[in-house]
Amino acid sequence: MTAGFNDGRTAYYSKSQDGLWVRSCWNHDVGVIDVSWNERTLIDGDKVFWLDENGTVTRTEDVRFAKYSDDSWVSSGVIHLDRPGFIEFARGNVGRVIESVMSHTSRLAAFGFGESIAEVVEWFERPQEGLFVVSTEYMIHDGVGMLEGSDGLVLEVVNLENEVLSMVVRVEGHESFELVKDLEPGMLRDFLISTEPLRTE
């Protein structure tokens, strides 16, 4: 997967295996993260096909007369950063939480989680509810709290039931240990800023 921040760290881009780009862009002035996807085109013979986020053809034009947009980014929604719940969730780690939300949102959307990219955006509107934690693998980096000192290890979310998160952390692919934690805002914040979603096949 191709993914990363722009130079100013105001946008995070992820590219799916089938070529869909997803962008999470932090608008400082408005106080939101705008999550959008890039419309794709496919040329077959004398036709140009425009594809939506799911790869469905939305329109077809003759290649000789096709009109291309100057801005092919389509917004899937925004995450409001000025809500009291979000501010309380971030608690002294606002910059890291915002950057982590940008990377998690973009990567999970590009991996195909959720019914749509808009649904992934909704998971981060109220991060204290933990809807953004999905059953996949995560790379631990700059770990804090329960994940401090675990940088470079892979964590797999195996179960989310009854407000409890069960995880397995693998050590060099051979050994593993289980972590079981209550789903509460402090733990969810530590999880968010300490991890990066990975694709599992």
159 with 187, same domain: the answer is: yes
Looking at the structure, do residues 31 and 119 belong to the same domain, yes or no? Answer: yes
Clarify whether residues 160 and 141 are in a common domain: yes
For tokens 């009854």, name the residue. 162
22 and 112 part of one domain: yes
- The span from the CA of 143 to the CA of 141, in Å, is 5
At 56, the pLDDT band (50, 70, 90 cuts) reads confident
Q: Averaged over 76-90, what is the pLDDT?
A: 92
Single-letter code of the amino acid located at 92: G
Cβ(127)–Cβ(188) below 8 Å: yes
Residue 40 has pLDDT above 90, yes or no: no
151 and 118 in a common domain: no
**Tokens representing 99?**
């950057």
Name every residue whose Cβ is closer than 8 Å to that of residue 136 and which is 6 or more positions away in sequence: 111, 113, 156, 157, 197, 198, 199, 200
pLDDT tens-place string over residues 142-180: 999 989 998 999 999 988 887 888 998 887 767 788 888
Q: Residues 148, 87: one domain?
A: no
Domain hosting 108: range is 1-128
pTM for the full model? 0.89
Does 99 share its domain with 7? yes
- Residues 110 and 186 placed together within one structural domain of the fold: no
Q: Are residues 138 and 189 in the same domain?
A: yes
- Clarify whether residues 102 and 192 are in a common domain: no
Q: What is the pLDDT of residues 95-139, one digit of tens each?
A: 999 999 999 999 999 999 999 999 999 999 999 999 999 999 999
Instruction: Give the mean pLDDT of the chain.
Output: 90
**How many structural domains comprise the chain?**
2
95 and 158 housed in the same domain: no
Last residue of a domain, one of 79, 108, 128: 128
Q: Do 103 and 180 share a domain, yes or no?
A: no
Q: Which two tokens stand for residue 14?
A: 């992820």
